[in-house]
Amino acid sequence: MMRTLRLATSAALPYALSVLLAGPALADMSTAVRSDAYSVKGLDQPAEILIDHWGIAHIYAKSNRDALFLQGYNAARDRLWQIDLWRKRGLGRLAESFGEDFAERDRAARLFLFRGDMGKEWVSYGPNAKSFAEAFVAGVNAYVSEVLAGSKPLPIEFSLSGSKPEIWGPEDVVRIRSHGLTRNVSSEVKRALVTCKADIDADRLRSKLEPDWKPEVPQGLDPCIIPADVLKDYDWATDSVDFSPPKKKAELYDPQPFLDKADGTVDSIGSNNWVVAPARTATGRPILANDPHRAHSAPSLRYIVHLNSPDMSVVGAGEPALPGISIGHNGTIAFGLTIFNVDQEDLYVYETNPDNPNQYRYKDGWENMKTVEETIAVRDGAPRKVSLKFTRHGPVVKTDGENHRAFAVRSVWMEPGTSAYFGSSDYMTARNWNEFLTAMNRFYAPSENQVYADTQGNIGWVAAAMTPARKTWDGLLPVPGDGRYEWGFLKRDDLPSVYNPAKGWFATANQMNLPEGYPVKERKVGFEWADPSRYERIAQVLSANDKVTLADSMKLQNDDVNLLGERAVKLLKAVELPADASAEARQAAEMLRNWNASNDIDSAPAAIYEMWISQHLPKALITHVVPEAARKAIGKGSGTAAIDMLETADKSLGQDLQATRAAIISESLASAVAALKEQLGNDMDKWRWGDLHRAVFKHSLSPIVSKAMQEQFTVGPWAMSGSSTTPHAASYNPDFTLMSGASFRMVLDVGGWDNSRVINTPGQSGDPFSPHYRDLAPLWLTGDYVPLFYSREAVEGAAATRISLTPAE
């Protein structure tokens, strides 16, 4: 079903010819164009929005200001419930719309808002930041005002929840930080819990450290004083909004699900990207490919849009609540991103004054916490007054009066210029490598591998991030907040970059990619990276092809080969199961030995492997080598760390390495088979990975609406291939339903822009009754794409709706 890929290696073609070549995926589209006309208050000059057959809006305005204004207006037109909920969640305003159950979440969210100097904040992003945000918000507000006035329909979610959209302020866009990805405070807490119950070395089965590193307990820290629930406020502030009926009261909060889930984010929240130089492509033009991986939902996290003005023409994807484009191109340069795992946060532990709990020890004296008093409005209830406390390092997330302790999170969030992805407002208008580098010097969060290509044939990579400089510790455990552990910051030039690499391509997939010889001891950037299997497979494919096409890149984005699985197969071939191994374990081992290490939908060995590697092998290994007291703290463990240990003659496995390995593999395979029989039946030959691994996109309100409305809101389920360690990233929940992966994929023909291809899922619209709510999901599932047209001619030919806009009096 890769029909739309046939155009991938051609030069830019007239739209009519592209329809003939591309087959039914394009040719079946109607040529009829619906016309609408709006008068919009706040628009300066007449403008136009062309919406193509796939719901992608192409905005044509007479100024940058109007282009950004209409980006906000159009985002509200398509995604108002989603962006309004994003704002309310981030600002801590949920209880006002949804009631008392959200008041504690609101208090927690307000702890993590940016509260610094707004002048410094705006300047930190570059010259366009404030004007872009003001224009975008004015557009959002123009649409919200029309909805509140009744001239535009109220999206059904507001009616179902009994709420209304709110008016935005420009500062709302940047003050919200809790959608960022700054890592690794939850891992610090788990490492402290493990170290308390066993020793720090036991934690390597939970989290593999790279480059090779032996962590140490910071001087002055007793890891046993870290409460398991110390990050409750952090959890509430950063988690998605859950409308499920409350299962427990807040005082019964269980930290384990959050800590266990956070363990997996290093592999589940990431991305793939690559750039290929002209000398290694079939067209002689660069290719840039990017598929960012985040949690799946309906509507999608990403939103594709095309902004045009006399001074700007940029197309690609961003997040619908933010101005600008973070992944795409501007006709001269192309850009894409993946997470570069800088450790941008720490947990600080304080001794508090027994005579004044609002003071904490700092150096030779007591320092006062800053207290901010706020009122949380509550729907159908009395307003709640809350006291938010802050140390010099950040928000206080827990106090322990009995033992005179307090705990605060320090994050780059608290520094000016760190609103997630907002730095794209700077680099999306760059015209060459030097301008791109200048923007990267101001790009702070999240920490990213930014790849680059331009129409002159250049390609490059920049690791861009605000990076804490820790001189005396490594950031892997909490630290005392008494002044001994203070951050500095590395310069951007202290991080690696590459321009026109000799090999003719560059790729990243969240793997440890600090170059050989990088001064790790002096610059402790971070030690917790994704499993390298996705990158290694991408490198394997790109290295073997000196005539790369767009079709090749699209195929690679959907590649199901699992190189961690290959290592597991090799391990099984080297191990003879013990004589007492069950028949089921022997059959499973034999099926895996003959597996092609591809997570295909129809593969029985893939189902066995994923059940084994995710839920049974690490657990069995932990049982054998970790003291019982520490096992709960470690959790399910890491499949990568388990394979690492079993491949080597590790002393933890005892003197008889072969016997211990055989016992662990036999035991874990038997338990994996038993679990699979309960879900897929007794006939192992009939098992399919796709019967276990299912893609389903759920709406935030699904838990509280009728069954009929749930069906309207939900997209899927479908059988799904891939996994977290294949380029076709498809991480899953404990029940194997899809959790995260590439909701958005993009492959750019740099210079032959109209050949570029893209897919979003489940669709562009947030309206559950719109055809664009779910129309892209079947294409996304089968690895198909739609055009990302750039020229006005191509956009005109693909237009399905034309909206003419004029300023209102």
Q: Do the Cβ atoms of 247 and 227 come closer than 8 Å?
A: no
Left if phi > 0, otherwise alpha if psi is -120 to 50, otherwise beta: which for 301?
Answer: alpha
Q: Flag whether pLDDT at 246 surpasses 80.
A: no
Residue-wise pLDDT tens digits, 108-143? 999 999 999 999 999 999 999 999 999 999 999 999
What confidence tier does 230 reach under pLDDT thresholds 50, 70, 90?
very high
Q: How far is C-alpha 253 from the chain's CA centre? A: 25
Looking at per-residue confidence, does 268 or 552 come out higher? 552
- Predicted confidence (pLDDT) at residue 660 exceeds the cutoff of 60: yes
Given a cut of 50, is residue 56 above it in pLDDT? yes
Specify the pLDDT at position 3: 29
- φ and ψ at 253, to 5 degrees? -55, 130
Does an H or E element contain 138, and which? helix 129-149
pLDDT of residue 198: 92
| Tens-place pLDDT, residues 422-463 | 999 899 999 999 999 999 999 999 999 999 999 999 999 999
When comparing pLDDT for 459 and 650, which is higher?
Answer: 459
pLDDT of residue 422: 93
Q: Compute the average pLDDT of residues 71-90.
A: 98
Distance, in Å, from the CA atom of 302 to the CA atom of 550, rounded to the nearest integer, reads 21
Least confident residue range of 3-12, 59-68, 308-317, 785-794: 3-12
- DSSP assignment of 579-627, as one string? TT--HHHHHHHHHHHT--SB--TT-HHHHHHHHIIIIIHHHHHHHHHS-
Mean pLDDT of 162-191: 92
679-704 pLDDT per residue, tens = 999 999 999 999 999 999 999 999 99
Q: Quote the CA–CA distance of 138 and 128 in Å, as a whole number.
A: 15
Block residue for tokens 């029989």: 677
Q: Which of 557, 507, 564 is nearest to 725 (CA)?
A: 564
Average pLDDT over residues 631-660: 90
- DSSP reduced 3-state for 806: strand
Poorest-pLDDT segment among 27-41, 86-100, 636-650, 721-735: 27-41
**Per-residue pLDDT reduced to its tens digit, 591-634:** 999 999 999 999 999 999 999 999 999 999 999 999 999 998 89
- With a cut of 50, say whether residue 13 has pLDDT above it: no
Mean pLDDT across 760-772: 97
Instruction: Answer for the pair 121, 422: CB distance below 8 angstroms, yes or no.
Output: no
Q: What average pLDDT does the segment 323-343 reach?
A: 97
Averaged confidence pLDDT in the chain: 93
pLDDT at residue 158 greater than cutoff 50: yes
C-alpha–C-alpha distance, residues 502 and 292, integer Å: 26
Task: Identify which of 449, 477, 479, 475 has the alpha carbon closest to the alpha carbon of residue 464.
Answer: 449
Contact present, 270 and 530 (Cβ < 8 Å): yes
State residue 12's pLDDT score.
Answer: 33
pLDDT of 651 reads 83
- What's the confidence (pLDDT) of residue 248? 54
pLDDT tens digits for range 467-479: 999 999 999 999 9
Rounded CA separation 338/336 (Å)? 7
Question: Residue 270's pLDDT band (boundaries 50, 70, 90)?
Answer: confident
Mean pLDDT confidence for 66-82:
98
Q: Please say whether the beta carbons of 722 and 599 come within 8 A.
A: yes
Question: Residue holding tokens 């999306």?
Answer: 428
373 pLDDT above the threshold of 90 = yes
- What local confidence, expressed as pLDDT, does residue 763 receive? 97
Residue 24 predicted with pLDDT over 50: no
pLDDT band at 30 (very low <50, low <70, confident <90, very high): low
pTM of the model: 0.94
Residue 98's contacts (CB-CB under 8 Å, 6 or more residues apart) are: 161, 163, 243, 379
Which of 245-259, 501-515, 572-586 has the lowest average pLDDT? Answer: 245-259
Residue 709 has pLDDT above 80, yes or no: yes
Predicted confidence (pLDDT) at residue 554 exceeds the cutoff of 90: yes
Question: Residue 585 and residue 666: Cα distance in Å, rounded?
Answer: 6
* Other residues' Cβ atoms within 10 Å of the Cβ of residue 450: 28
pLDDT of residue 21: 34
At 503, is the pLDDT very low, low, confident or very high (cuts 50, 70, 90)?
A: very high
DSSP summary character for residue 241: P
C-alpha span between 132 and 284 (Å, rounded)? 36
